[in-house]
């Protein structure tokens, strides 16, 4: 028995995705074309990249149920996903894509057995590491999203938005201080 199985993978992925959606909602649509620096993704493209981030893992674990990544056509996949990311999308469509793709992935995760998570897949020749567990590969979807969400939270600061996680924490602290003041008066 592991302490972090399919149920937890789905639950925590949903938590991460819901926080990403809150960021996407907080950023005004007129800032979706903002770039933090030249040669970086716009807010819209970064959110789209996040939304589509689970597709590779879903394909290899959920659809094809590969037992190895030897022979996988990575250049064709990168071209296909790159074309999908390049499509212009308004804010509402980006948020809908985040919701739909996130729920598709989380629903898949809920149903995977523990033995499936423990399976080890050989990587293509020359890859480092030479093999990875499904658990590690699946968990990396959430890690990848959190990496990019960190970028988005910095972008929020750059455009004058206090990230919702900070606002929520500040509200909890203010409420606790108010309760403490009331209890001592």
CATH number for the domain harbouring residue 39: 1.20.120.450
- In which band, very low, low, confident or very high, does the pLDDT at 144 lie, cut at 50, 70 and 90? very high
Find the mean pLDDT for residues 108-129: 95
- Spatial distance between the Cα atoms of 88 and 85, rounded to a whole number of angstroms: 8
- Spatial distance between the Cα atoms of 29 and 98, rounded to a whole number of angstroms: 15
What's phi and psi for 111, nearest 5 deg? -95, 0
User: Which residues are paired to 35 by β-bridges?
Assistant: 42
Find the mean pLDDT for residues 54-68: 97
In a domain, 161, yes or no: yes
In a domain, 1, yes or no: no
Tell whether the model's pLDDT for residue 181 goes beyond 70.
Answer: yes
In a domain, 110, yes or no: yes
- Spatial distance between the Cα atoms of 5 and 156, rounded to a whole number of angstroms: 33
Q: 36: domain range?
A: 6-184
Tell whether the model's pLDDT for residue 1 goes beyond 70.
Answer: no
In a domain, 30, yes or no: yes
- In which band, very low, low, confident or very high, does the pLDDT at 2 lie, cut at 50, 70 and 90? low
- Spatial distance between the Cα atoms of 101 and 56, rounded to a whole number of angstroms: 12
- Spatial distance between the Cα atoms of 137 and 57, rounded to a whole number of angstroms: 7
In a domain, 81, yes or no: yes
Tell me what pLDDT residue 4 has: 83
Query: Is the distance from CB of 10 to CB of 109 less than 8 angstroms?
Result: yes
Tell me what pLDDT residue 123 has: 95
Tell me what pLDDT residue 83 has: 98
Find the mean pLDDT for residues 100-115: 96
Mean pLDDT of the chain: 96
Query: Could you tell me which of 36, 21, 18, 38 has the C-alpha nearest to residue 156?
Result: 36
Number of domains in the chain: 1
Tell me what pLDDT residue 172 has: 96
- How would you class 182 by CB atoms within 10 Å of its CB: exposed for 0-12, middle for 13-18, buried for 19 or more? exposed
């Amino acid at each position: 028995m592991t302490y972090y199985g399919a149920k937890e993978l789905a639950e925590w992925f949903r938590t991460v995705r819901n926080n990403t959606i809150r960021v996407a909602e907080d950023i005004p649509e007129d800032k979706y074309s903002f770039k933090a620096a030249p040669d970086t993704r716009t807010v819209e493209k970064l959110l789209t990249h996040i939304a589509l981030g689970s597709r590779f893992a879903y394909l290899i674990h959920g659809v094809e149920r590969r037992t190895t990544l030897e022979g996988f056509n990575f250049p064709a996949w990168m071209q296909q996903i790159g074309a999908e990311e390049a499509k212009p999308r308004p804010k509402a469509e980006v948020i809908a894509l985040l919701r739909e793709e996130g729920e598709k992935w989380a629903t898949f995760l809920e149903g995977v057995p523990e033995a499936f998570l423990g399976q080890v897949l050989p990587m293509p020749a020359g890859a480092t590491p030479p093999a990875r567990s499904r658990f590690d590969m699946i968990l990396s979807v959430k890690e990848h999203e959190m990496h990019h969400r960190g970028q988005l939270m910095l972008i929020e600061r750059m455009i004058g938005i206090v990230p919702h996680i900070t606002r929520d924490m500040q509200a909890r602290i203010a409420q606790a201080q108010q309760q403490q003041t009331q209890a001592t008066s």
